[in-house]
Amino acid sequence: MACALSRLPPEILPVIFELLDGQSILRCSAVCRGWRSIVSSSTEMHYLVELWADGLEPGHSLGRSSAEKLQRLLDWRQAWTTLKWSSTSDFPITEHPRAYELVGGVFAQHNTWPRSDFSTLRLPGVDAPQAQAMTRESVGVSSLDFAMDPTQDLVVFLYKVEFWSETGNFDIRSLSTLEPHPLAAHPTLSFDLRDDAFRRIFLQVADDVIGLLFRTSQVAEGSLRLVLFNWRTGTALLDLTGPELPHSISDFALLSPRSYILASVNVQSYIPGHGMHRGTGELHLYAFDGTRRNTDPDHIASLQLPAPHPGRLLERVIVHSGPFCAGLVPGAQFVKSNARRICVISLAYDRMESYSLYMHHAFFERCIQQRTADTNTVPVVPWGDWGPHNTRLLRGRHVFWLRYVHGERVVSPVDAACPYRIEVLDFGIFLRRTDPDEEDVFLGPSTISSASTVFKHDVVTCLSASTKWSTD
């Protein structure tokens, strides 16, 4: 029986194909010679395929032809490949800001000394060659931290009215005006602090969700609290304290508007009278309902990290990935896909030994989609069952420089003593575009030996990547 689509007028199929994403277009081209001819003869479809290959999604066309859009994309790709940019710009920033963020092409910083001001800088690019800077002398509150999403014109300030106040607050503002955000159900969301104190704050935004993890005491073990709100509806989604969280949590990250991860440095519980036994470390993956209050989030899995030698200590785990942008970057021809992001797990061990573990967000999404119906049992997944084929482990990367993830690319200093020399790791490479003999391309497995490292066994990882260096 002939395909029903084959009976359509010939001019209709290209219109339908151009509504698809790049991966779907490639699949259509493999159906038959006729469809392949339609795809290969269309510059627009070529552009959409190349967007998908780079982990991008279409943004604003701005009246450009398909050929113009494709050429701008290829120029952008070449710049990342060679690290040779068409131009560079320098901008002054405050030396010691209270907090800063780089999201959606906007750099923002909040200062508390010598004055309390808030400034934003929309960085120049191929689609907007002129930078746009704006500074306000005061945001009106004594903010402890902020998070933002310029694609929603959103900034969230965390503050207490007074130092001794027993209430924590999120101010939901428009980034462009610092007025209350028009989509927020309430301009301020509050939660009872009880006897809590704000220490080591982890504040993030993902679409309609605000996530905050903070330490409630400087000395008490397990003194953590996790608070999640839906800022559009004003709904308190989660409020979990130390006993309700995994033990020895060292970091928190919103993976998406409906999932988050907690990093733990210890896999065994504290045993009174026997002290703390530090184990391999774990990544705890959770999913939650973002529309109503959750009494208990869905604990998807606990993923074990490589085991260290007896007597060696995993001191800290840091989770960092590119920001989740809910919309299109204003004026940008293409934007990074939220589904095509790299997550960086920084591991700090005793004796100043550190590593970086790289993995795709898509792995976490697969774990969530494949969760079992038995919600009473949380699978603890040994490193050997998930790590080798889904990660790449590299030694000696600087642990504490966090603002470095751009989609599937990771930018970091080669040496903390020489911050102007950087490397770019690209985990979005395609084998057909890569010379297997080229230096600094990790296509096959790599092994970190147990003989001269912290690890109890050899650690083999397989995630493909290419590396470029810059000394500018």
pLDDT tens digits along 326-337: 999 888 899 999
Q: Whole-angstrom Cα distance, residue 401 to residue 321?
A: 12
Q: Find out whether 146 and 108 touch, Cβ atoms under 8 Å.
A: yes
Q: Answer yes or no: is 57 within a domain.
A: yes
Cα 175–chain centre separation: 21
Lowest average pLDDT, out of 163-177, 265-279, 323-337, 339-353, goes to: 265-279
Q: Whole-angstrom Cα distance, residue 384 to residue 459?
A: 9
Q: Whole-angstrom Cα distance, residue 89 to residue 76?
A: 17
Q: Answer yes or no: is 396 within a domain.
A: no
Taking only the tens place, the pLDDT of each residue in 89-137 is 888 887 778 888 999 989 999 987 767 789 999 988 776 777 888 888 8
Q: What is the mean pLDDT of residues 135-148?
A: 87
Task: Choose among 393, 397, 398, 399: nearest CA to 449.
Answer: 393
Question: Phi, psi (5° rounding) for residue 71?
Answer: -65, -40
Q: Answer yes or no: is 328 within a domain.
A: no
User: Which of helix, strand or coil describes residue 143?
Assistant: strand
E-state strands within 137-234: 143-149, 154-159, 167-174, 188-192, 199-206, 209-215, 224-230
Domain CATH number, residue 29: 1.20.1280
Q: pTM here?
A: 0.89
Provide the edge-to-edge strand list for the sheet that holds 132-136.
99-103, 106-111, 117-122, 132-136
Q: Answer yes or no: is 193 within a domain.
A: no
Residue 275 binned pLDDT confidence (cut-offs 50, 70, 90)? very low
Task: Choose among 273, 281, 277: nearest CA to 310.
Answer: 277
Q: Answer yes or no: is 63 within a domain.
A: yes
Q: Which residue has the higher pLDDT, 181 or 430?
A: 181
Domains of the chain: total: 1
Q: What is the mean pLDDT of residues 305-312?
A: 91
Q: Which residue has the higher pLDDT, 440 or 410?
A: 410
Alpha-carbon radius of gyration of the chain: 24
pLDDT given at position 285? 96
Q: Answer yes or no: is 12 within a domain.
A: yes
Q: Answer yes or no: is 24 within a domain.
A: yes
Q: Whole-angstrom Cα distance, residue 321 to residue 341?
A: 7
User: Which of helix, strand or coil describes residue 211?
Assistant: strand
Q: Answer yes or no: is 163 within a domain.
A: no
Q: Which domain holds residue 28?
A: 4-82
